[in-house]
Amino acid sequence: MLDAGDISRVGTAVAETVLAAPLLMDIDHHVTAGQFGQIRLLDAGAAATGEIVYDLLLALKRRSPSPSPSACSALC
């Protein structure tokens, strides 16, 4: 979930689907008491949740080997 703050903000129908996921990551820049999910990535100093996602992608790129051409073709 991105920038939700609390699971109730997504609505009942969507919340049921989200909570049924085998792994839930909550990425946000708002400090709230409504933590949900197994992983929480919170940065209150970020201007927006997109900034956190960008930083996460950069960090993952540094730690991951380059994808094979066939994997890139499947994703692109």
CA 19 – CA 36 distance, rounded (Å): 9
Biggest CA-to-CA distance, the chain: 43
Q: What pLDDT score was predicted for residue 62?
A: 76
CA 74 – CA 49 distance, rounded (Å): 27
* Closest to 24 (Cα-Cα) out of 35, 10, 12: 35
- pLDDT tens per residue, range 33-55: 677 788 889 999 999 999 999 99
Structure tokens of 14? 């969507």
- Enter the pTM of the model: 0.70
The DSSP letter of residue 66 is: P
The DSSP letter of residue 45 is: T
Q: What are phi and psi of 26, to 5 degrees?
A: -105, 115
